[in-house]
Copies of this chain bind each other. A is one copy, B any other.
Amino acid sequence: MNKVNRTIILASRPVGMPSKENFTMETGPIPQVNKDEVLIKTIYLSVDPYMRGRMSGIKTYVDPFEINKPLVGGVVGKIVESKNERFKEGDYVEGHLPWSDYSISKGKNIRKIDPNIAPISTALGVAGMPGLTAYFGMLDIGKPKEGETVVVSGAAGAVGSVAGQIAKLKGCRVVGIAGSQEKLDYLTKELGFDAAINYKSENVYVQLKEACPDGVDVYFDNVGGEVSDLLMRIMNFHSRIVLCGQISQYNNTEVEYGPRIQGKLVTHSILMQGFIVSNYSTRFKEGYEQLGKWIKEGKIKYRETITDGLENAPDAFIGLFTGENIGKQLVRVAKEDE
Per-residue CB proximity of A247-269 to B under 8 Å, as 1/0? 00100000111111111111111
Complex alpha-carbon distance, A237 and B62, angstroms: 12
Could you tell me which residues of chain A, from 250 to 306, have a CB within 8 Å of some CB in chain B?
Answer: 255-276, 279
Find chain B residues with CB under 8 A from A61 CB.
237, 267-269
A73 at the binding interface (Cβ < 8 Å): no
Q: Determine if A195 is an interface residue (Cβ-Cβ < 8 Å).
A: no
Decide if A197 is an interface residue (CB 8 Å cutoff).
no
Q: Name the distance in Å between A72's Cβ and chain B's nearest Cβ.
A: 18
List residues of chain B with CB within 8 A of the CB of A319: none
A273 CB contact (under 8 Å) in B256, B261, B265: B265
Once bound together, how far apart are the Cα atoms of A236 and B265, in whole Å? 21
Q: Which A residues fall within an 8 A CB radius of B? A: 53, 60-61, 221, 224-225, 228, 237-238, 243-246, 249, 255-276, 279
> Judging by beta carbons under 8 Å apart, are B273 and A271 in contact?
yes
In contact, B237 and A263 (Cβ under 8 angstroms): no
- For residue A255, which residues in chain B have a CB less than 8 angstroms away from its CB? 259-260
| Bound-state Cα–Cα, A271 to B272, Å | 6
Q: How many Å from the CB of A155 to the closest CB on chain B?
A: 17
Which chain B residue lies CB-closest to A278?
B269
Residue from the list B243, B265, B266, B267 in contact with A266, Cβ < 8 A: B243
Q: Is the CB of A265 within 8 A of B258?
A: no
Chain B residue nearest to A245 in the complex (CB): B266
Q: Which residue of chain B is the closest to A237 with respect to CB atoms?
A: B61
A-B contacts, 29 listed (Cβ < 8 Å): A53-B267, A60-B267, A60-B268, A61-B237, A61-B268, A225-B260, A228-B262, A246-B266, A249-B260, A249-B262, A249-B263, A255-B260, A257-B259, A257-B260, A258-B260, A261-B261, A265-B274, A266-B276, A267-B274, A267-B276, A269-B273, A269-B276, A269-B279, A270-B273, A270-B274, A271-B272, A271-B273, A271-B274, A272-B272
Name A259's closest neighbour in chain B (CB-CB): B255
**Once the chains are docked, how many angstroms separate the CA of A132 from the CA of B258?**
32
Closest 7 CB pairs of A and B: A265-B274, A60-B267, A266-B274, A272-B272, A257-B257, A255-B259, A258-B260
